[in-house]
Amino acid sequence: MIFLVPRAMSSGFDQAWAIVVRPRTLTLMINTMSLAAVVACGSFVLGVASAWMVARHRLPGRRVWWIAVCLPLAVPSYVAAFAWVAAFPGTRGFWPLAAILVLSCSPLVAVPTMSALAIADHAPADVARTLGRSAIRVFVTVTLPQILPAALAGTLLAALYALSDFGAPAILRYETLTTGIYGLFTGGINRSAAAATSLVLAVLALVCIVGERLLRRRTADRQRSARGLFLPAAPVGRATAALYCTFLAALVTVSVAFPLAAMILRATRGDRYRTTTNRLLEATISTMTIGAIAATLAVLAALPISYLAARYRDRVVATLESVSFLGDGLPGVVIALGLVAAFLALLPFAYQTLPMLLAAYVILFISKSIGSSRSAFGAIAPGIEEASRTLGTGPTRTFLRVTLPVALPGVVAGWMLVLVSVMKELPATLMLRPIGVETLTTELWSKTTLGAYGAAAPIGLLLVVIGILPAWLLARSAVRL
C-alpha cells in the first residue's frame, strides 16, 4: 500500500483525483457497492435462515445438514459462474452474478450465526411463545437481537467477498472495480490510473475489514462469557422438519449439485479447444508446486507472529497480528498492483518472476496460517515450556523440541489452508505469474475466455475437489457446537 500511493500519484495529485472522480470510476464504484449491498443482504437472509433451521431444530440427519450448510464454500464463485454460463450461455449481468455470490457467501454468515444461536438465551423466547406470539415474531424481536453481531460480522465478510471478487464478474460480463482495474493493468496504457482506482477499492475493503473485526471482537466476548451454556436443539414436528429439510436440500442442489452436474455434462462433450492430458497434468503439477512453496513460506512467516499472539497480548503484538490480517481482506488485484509498484521501485529485475508471485500469495494468505497456528500454540500450557527451560534447555531448542511438535497439527492445518487458497486464487495469479507458467486457474480462465466450456469443465471439477478441504474444516468446527 505504501508503494501504491505514490504510484497512483505519479502523474500528479490532480490527475489521480481526476481518475478517481471521473464518470467511469464512479460507475464502477456504484456497480461494485450495489453488488456488495445485494450480496450482503441476500447472504444475511439465507445464512441466518439456514443457521436457524440447523442449529435450533432437531432435524433428521442433523450432522449432514451442518455439513451441507458449509458445502457452497467448496465451489469457488468463478467456477460456479462458469458452470451456469456453460449450462445457460446467455447468463450474464447483475442479478445472476448477485445470486451466484449469495449462494457462495451464505456460509460466511451461517457458521458464526450457528455458533451464536447455540449460546443464545432462549428463555425469553420460550416465555414469549407461551404468551401467544408467533415463532417468526419471537425470532425477529427476541432471538435476532442476540445473534445480530455474529450475523453482521459474517455479512460484512460476504460484502468484502463481493467487493474483492474478480472471476465471477468477469465471466458474467458485469463491470466492477476489480474488472476495471484488471483492464487498466493489462491494457498497460496508464498504470497510474489502475493504481488510483485500486485505492478506491482498498478504502471500501478496509471499511468492511474494520467493521468485521469490531463485531467479531464483540461476538468473541459474548462467547467467552457464555462458555459452557450451549443449549440442545429443540424437537420439531414432521411437517416442519420436512419443510426445513426441503429448503436445505434445495440450497445445496442449486449451489453445489447443479454446478457439478453442469460441469460433468460439459466435460463429456467434444471440444476443439480440449486441454490435453499432458497440459492438464503440467498445470496441476505447476499449481501444486507453487502452492506448496507459498504455503511453506507463509507458515514460516506466520510462526513467530502466531506464537507471540498466543503468548503475549500487548499492543505491539496485537498491531502486528492485525496488520498481517489485512492482506486477507484486501482484494487480490490491489495486492498485485502494490507489489508491481514495490518491485519496480526496489527490485526491477525480479518483476514478473516467481518470487514476486510467491510474495503476493504470502501477503494474501498468511492470515490463514496465523489463525490456525495461533490456536494450536494457545492450547499448549505454558508450564510445559517452563519445565523444559528449568531443565537447562534454551528457548530455541525448547520451541523446536517441545512447543512446535505439540502444535504441529494446527500448523499443518494452516499449511493446507494456504495451499488450497493459493490453488484457487485467480486475479493475482493472472497479473503476476511469470511468462509461460500456467496453473489450473489460468487454464480455466483461458478456456472460458475462448468459450471452450467443455475444455474448462474438468479443470472446474478439479478446483471444486480442492475446495472441499476448507469447507470440510469449517463444517467440522460447526458440528462441534
- What pLDDT does 229 receive? 44
Over 90: is that where the pLDDT of 96 sits? Answer: yes
Let me know: does 441 contact 357? Beta carbons within 8 Å: no
Q: Which of 351-355, 385-389, 469-473 has the lowest mean pLDDT?
A: 469-473
For residues 158 and 385, the model is more confident at: 158
Q: Do domains 1-221+236-272+454-481 and 275-451 have the same CATH topology?
A: yes
- What pLDDT does 220 receive? 57
- What pLDDT does 118 receive? 72
- DSSP labels for 200-221? HHHHHHHHHHHHHHHHHHHHHH
Considering only CA atoms, which of 420, 332, 331 is closest in space to residue 372? Answer: 420
- The three three-digit cell numbers of residue 464, written as one number: 471444486
Q: What is the mean pLDDT of residues 455-472?
A: 82
**Three-state SS at 234:** strand
Tell me the domain boundaries of the chain.
1-221+236-272+454-481, 275-451
Over 70: is that where the pLDDT of 474 sits? Answer: no
Measure the CA–CA gap between 145 and 136, rounded to whole angstroms: 13
Measure the CA–CA gap between 394 and 390, rounded to whole angstroms: 9
Q: What number of other Cβ atoms are within 10 A of residue 164's Cβ?
A: 25
Mean pLDDT of the chain: 84
- What pLDDT does 226 receive? 46
pLDDT band per the 50, 70, 90 thresholds, residue 228: very low
- The fold for domain 275-451 equals MetI-like fold (1.10.3720)
For residues 50 and 279, the model is more confident at: 50
pLDDT tens, residue by residue, 278-320: 778 888 899 999 999 999 999 999 999 888 888 887 888 878 8
- What pLDDT does 234 receive? 66
- What pLDDT does 230 receive? 46
Q: How far lies 24's CA from each of 12, 179, 180, 193, 240, in Å?
A: 19, 12, 9, 11, 50
Write down the CATH number for the domain with range 1-221+236-272+454-481.
Answer: 1.10.3720.10
Over 50: is that where the pLDDT of 227 sits? Answer: no
Measure the CA–CA gap between 83 and 320, rounded to whole angstroms: 40
pLDDT tens, residue by residue, 98-111: 999 999 999 989 88
